[in-house]
Amino acid sequence: MNVVLVGPPGAGKGTQAAALEEKTKLKHIASGELFRQHMRDETELGKLARTYVDRGELVPDDIVITMILERIFQPDCEHGVILDGFPRTKEQAAALERALEEHQQKIDAVIFLNAPRDVLLKRIVGRQTCRNCQTPYNIYYSPPREEGVCDLCGGDLYTRSDDNMETARHRLEVYLQQTAPLIEHYRALGLLHEVDGLGDIHEVTARLVRELGINGELPHQPRT
Protein backbone atom coordinates (compact mmCIF):
# COMPACT_ATOMS: atom_id res chain seq x y z
CA MET A 1 0.00 0.00 0.00
CA ASN A 2 1.35 3.42 -0.94
CA VAL A 3 -0.13 6.52 0.67
CA VAL A 4 0.63 10.13 -0.25
CA LEU A 5 0.12 12.91 2.31
CA VAL A 6 -0.39 16.29 0.72
CA GLY A 7 -1.12 19.58 2.43
CA PRO A 8 0.29 22.98 3.30
CA PRO A 9 3.27 23.48 5.61
CA GLY A 10 2.18 22.98 9.20
CA ALA A 11 -0.87 20.85 8.31
CA GLY A 12 0.58 17.98 10.35
CA LYS A 13 1.86 15.75 7.54
CA GLY A 14 5.02 14.72 9.41
CA THR A 15 3.20 14.20 12.70
CA GLN A 16 0.47 12.07 11.12
CA ALA A 17 2.83 10.11 8.88
CA ALA A 18 4.83 9.11 11.97
CA ALA A 19 1.62 8.03 13.73
CA LEU A 20 0.53 5.96 10.72
CA GLU A 21 3.95 4.34 10.48
CA GLU A 22 3.56 3.17 14.09
CA LYS A 23 0.20 1.59 13.32
CA THR A 24 1.18 -0.13 10.09
CA LYS A 25 4.17 -1.64 8.34
CA LEU A 26 4.31 1.28 5.95
CA LYS A 27 7.57 3.24 5.85
CA HIS A 28 7.41 7.01 6.43
CA ILE A 29 9.48 8.82 3.80
CA ALA A 30 9.71 12.61 4.25
CA SER A 31 11.43 14.56 1.48
CA GLY A 32 12.05 17.59 3.74
CA GLU A 33 13.64 15.37 6.40
CA LEU A 34 15.87 13.69 3.79
CA PHE A 35 17.09 17.15 2.77
CA ARG A 36 17.63 18.19 6.38
CA GLN A 37 19.68 15.03 6.98
CA HIS A 38 21.88 15.95 3.99
CA MET A 39 22.13 19.50 5.34
CA ARG A 40 23.21 18.21 8.78
CA ASP A 41 25.78 15.92 7.15
CA GLU A 42 26.94 18.82 4.93
CA THR A 43 26.88 16.67 1.79
CA GLU A 44 26.99 18.34 -1.63
CA LEU A 45 23.26 17.68 -1.97
CA GLY A 46 22.71 19.21 1.48
CA LYS A 47 24.64 22.37 0.57
CA LEU A 48 22.62 22.74 -2.61
CA ALA A 49 19.29 21.99 -0.89
CA ARG A 50 19.99 24.59 1.83
CA THR A 51 19.99 27.39 -0.75
CA TYR A 52 16.34 26.54 -1.53
CA VAL A 53 15.06 25.28 1.84
CA ASP A 54 16.20 28.37 3.79
CA ARG A 55 14.32 30.62 1.35
CA GLY A 56 11.19 28.47 1.42
CA GLU A 57 11.57 27.62 -2.28
CA LEU A 58 11.16 24.14 -3.74
CA VAL A 59 14.33 22.21 -4.54
CA PRO A 60 14.43 21.56 -8.33
CA ASP A 61 12.35 18.61 -9.51
CA ASP A 62 15.18 16.50 -10.98
CA ILE A 63 17.07 16.51 -7.66
CA VAL A 64 14.02 15.63 -5.53
CA ILE A 65 12.76 13.00 -7.94
CA THR A 66 16.11 11.17 -8.06
CA MET A 67 16.44 11.25 -4.27
CA ILE A 68 12.92 9.96 -3.56
CA LEU A 69 12.80 7.29 -6.27
CA GLU A 70 16.08 5.87 -5.00
CA ARG A 71 14.66 5.75 -1.49
CA ILE A 72 11.20 4.24 -1.98
CA PHE A 73 12.34 1.04 -3.66
CA GLN A 74 14.76 0.10 -0.86
CA PRO A 75 14.04 -3.21 0.97
CA ASP A 76 12.71 -1.46 4.09
CA CYS A 77 9.86 -0.07 1.95
CA GLU A 78 8.69 -3.50 0.81
CA HIS A 79 5.30 -3.18 2.56
CA GLY A 80 4.70 0.25 1.05
CA VAL A 81 5.32 3.87 1.93
CA ILE A 82 3.70 6.95 3.41
CA LEU A 83 5.05 9.82 1.35
CA ASP A 84 5.21 13.08 3.32
CA GLY A 85 6.02 16.19 1.26
CA PHE A 86 6.39 14.40 -2.08
CA PRO A 87 5.14 14.88 -4.75
CA ARG A 88 4.85 18.67 -4.64
CA THR A 89 4.67 19.55 -8.35
CA LYS A 90 2.94 18.05 -11.39
CA GLU A 91 6.33 16.87 -12.68
CA GLN A 92 7.06 15.06 -9.41
CA ALA A 93 3.59 13.47 -9.45
CA ALA A 94 4.09 12.22 -13.02
CA ALA A 95 7.54 10.82 -12.20
CA LEU A 96 6.16 9.00 -9.15
CA GLU A 97 3.27 7.46 -11.10
CA ARG A 98 5.64 6.31 -13.87
CA ALA A 99 8.13 4.78 -11.44
CA LEU A 100 5.45 2.94 -9.44
CA GLU A 101 3.95 1.58 -12.65
CA GLU A 102 7.36 0.30 -13.75
CA HIS A 103 7.50 -1.62 -10.44
CA GLN A 104 3.90 -2.89 -10.87
CA GLN A 105 2.76 -0.66 -8.03
CA LYS A 106 0.42 2.29 -7.62
CA ILE A 107 -0.69 5.02 -5.27
CA ASP A 108 -3.53 3.57 -3.18
CA ALA A 109 -4.68 6.73 -1.44
CA VAL A 110 -3.88 10.43 -1.25
CA ILE A 111 -4.69 12.17 2.02
CA PHE A 112 -5.23 15.92 1.76
CA LEU A 113 -4.63 17.33 5.24
CA ASN A 114 -5.55 20.97 5.80
CA ALA A 115 -6.01 23.59 8.50
CA PRO A 116 -6.76 27.35 8.53
CA ARG A 117 -3.88 29.68 7.59
CA ASP A 118 -3.53 31.29 11.07
CA VAL A 119 -3.25 27.84 12.66
CA LEU A 120 -0.67 26.73 10.07
CA LEU A 121 1.52 29.77 10.78
CA LYS A 122 1.26 29.33 14.55
CA ARG A 123 2.17 25.66 14.27
CA ILE A 124 5.19 26.45 12.07
CA VAL A 125 6.67 29.28 14.13
CA GLY A 126 6.01 27.36 17.36
CA ARG A 127 7.68 24.16 16.19
CA GLN A 128 10.79 22.85 17.91
CA THR A 129 12.49 19.68 16.74
CA CYS A 130 14.82 17.29 18.54
CA ARG A 131 18.33 17.50 17.07
CA ASN A 132 18.87 13.84 17.92
CA CYS A 133 15.65 11.88 17.15
CA GLN A 134 13.76 14.59 15.12
CA THR A 135 10.63 14.36 17.32
CA PRO A 136 8.57 17.53 16.76
CA TYR A 137 7.27 19.65 19.67
CA ASN A 138 5.36 22.87 19.67
CA ILE A 139 5.72 25.67 22.20
CA TYR A 140 1.99 26.51 21.84
CA TYR A 141 0.38 23.09 21.43
CA SER A 142 2.69 20.34 22.66
CA PRO A 143 5.64 21.72 24.64
CA PRO A 144 8.29 19.38 26.03
CA ARG A 145 8.18 18.65 29.78
CA GLU A 146 11.50 20.50 30.21
CA GLU A 147 12.15 23.57 28.05
CA GLY A 148 14.56 22.86 25.19
CA VAL A 149 14.92 19.14 26.00
CA CYS A 150 13.37 16.16 24.15
CA ASP A 151 11.04 14.09 26.39
CA LEU A 152 11.97 10.92 24.54
CA CYS A 153 15.77 10.99 24.23
CA GLY A 154 16.98 14.03 26.17
CA GLY A 155 18.33 15.63 22.97
CA ASP A 156 18.47 19.43 22.42
CA LEU A 157 15.51 21.03 20.70
CA TYR A 158 16.13 23.48 17.86
CA THR A 159 14.08 25.69 15.53
CA ARG A 160 14.32 24.80 11.83
CA SER A 161 16.01 27.46 9.70
CA ASP A 162 12.83 27.81 7.61
CA ASP A 163 10.44 28.07 10.58
CA ASN A 164 10.33 31.87 10.88
CA MET A 165 7.25 33.97 10.00
CA GLU A 166 8.65 35.45 6.77
CA THR A 167 9.76 32.12 5.29
CA ALA A 168 6.63 30.37 6.53
CA ARG A 169 4.43 32.89 4.67
CA HIS A 170 6.47 32.34 1.52
CA ARG A 171 6.23 28.53 1.90
CA LEU A 172 2.44 28.89 2.04
CA GLU A 173 2.50 30.93 -1.21
CA VAL A 174 4.71 28.34 -2.89
CA TYR A 175 2.36 25.60 -1.73
CA LEU A 176 -0.68 27.38 -3.19
CA GLN A 177 1.02 27.99 -6.54
CA GLN A 178 2.88 24.73 -7.09
CA THR A 179 1.41 21.99 -4.91
CA ALA A 180 -2.29 22.77 -4.41
CA PRO A 181 -3.08 22.01 -8.10
CA LEU A 182 -2.18 18.37 -7.39
CA ILE A 183 -5.28 18.05 -5.25
CA GLU A 184 -7.59 18.27 -8.27
CA HIS A 185 -5.34 15.85 -10.16
CA TYR A 186 -5.72 13.23 -7.43
CA ARG A 187 -9.43 13.98 -7.01
CA ALA A 188 -9.93 13.30 -10.72
CA LEU A 189 -8.12 9.97 -10.29
CA GLY A 190 -10.51 9.05 -7.47
CA LEU A 191 -7.67 8.78 -4.96
CA LEU A 192 -8.32 11.82 -2.78
CA HIS A 193 -9.38 11.65 0.88
CA GLU A 194 -9.84 15.04 2.55
CA VAL A 195 -9.04 15.04 6.25
CA ASP A 196 -9.52 17.98 8.62
CA GLY A 197 -6.14 18.62 10.26
CA LEU A 198 -7.63 20.78 12.99
CA GLY A 199 -7.98 19.41 16.50
CA ASP A 200 -6.04 17.18 18.82
CA ILE A 201 -3.23 15.18 17.15
CA HIS A 202 -4.80 11.84 18.20
CA GLU A 203 -8.21 12.88 16.88
CA VAL A 204 -6.66 13.70 13.50
CA THR A 205 -4.88 10.33 13.47
CA ALA A 206 -8.20 8.59 14.15
CA ARG A 207 -9.75 10.43 11.16
CA LEU A 208 -6.90 9.29 8.91
CA VAL A 209 -7.16 5.70 10.06
CA ARG A 210 -10.91 5.77 9.36
CA GLU A 211 -10.41 7.30 5.91
CA LEU A 212 -7.81 4.70 4.99
CA GLY A 213 -9.92 1.91 6.44
CA ILE A 214 -6.91 0.35 8.10
CA ASN A 215 -8.41 0.15 11.63
CA GLY A 216 -4.96 0.04 13.10
CA GLU A 217 -4.21 -3.12 11.21
CA LEU A 218 -2.06 -3.17 8.33
CA PRO A 219 -1.30 -4.23 4.85
CA HIS A 220 0.85 -7.13 6.02
CA GLN A 221 1.62 -8.56 2.60
CA PRO A 222 4.88 -7.42 1.01
CA ARG A 223 4.44 -5.54 -2.27
CA THR A 224 4.84 -7.60 -5.39
The CA distance from 199 to 210, in Å, is 16
207 near ligand AP5 (CB under 6 A):
no
Of 38-46, 96-104, 143-151, 199-207, which part binds ligand AP5 (CB under 6 A)?
199-207
CB contact at 8 A, 27 and 83:
no
Shorter beta-carbon distance to ligand AP5: residue 146 or 224: 146
Query: Cβ 165 to ligand AP5, closest distance in Å?
Result: 13
How many chain residues bind ligand AP5 (CB under 6 A)? 34
27 tagged catalytic? no
Among 36, 123, 171, 207, the active-site one is 171
Q: What are phi and psi of 30, to 5 degrees?
A: -115, 115
Q: Residue 156's CB: how many other CB atoms inside 10 A?
A: 12
Q: Hey, which bits of 14-155 come out as E strands?
A: 27-30, 81-84, 109-114, 127-130, 136-138
Q: Does 14 bind ligand AP5 (CB under 6 A)?
A: yes
Q: Which is nearer to ligand AP5, 56 or 80 (CB)?
A: 56
Question: Which residue from 144, 167, 174 is spatially nearest to 157, judged by alpha carbons?
Answer: 144
| Exposure string for 137-152, b = 16+ CB within 10 A, e = fewer | bbeeebebeeeeebee
Is 160 marked active-site?
yes
- Give contact residues for ligand AP5 (rule: CB under 6 A): 7, 9-15, 31-32, 35, 52-53, 56-59, 64, 85-86, 88, 92, 123-124, 127, 136, 138, 141-142, 162, 171, 199, 201, 204
Catalytic sites, residue numbers: 13, 88, 127, 160, 171
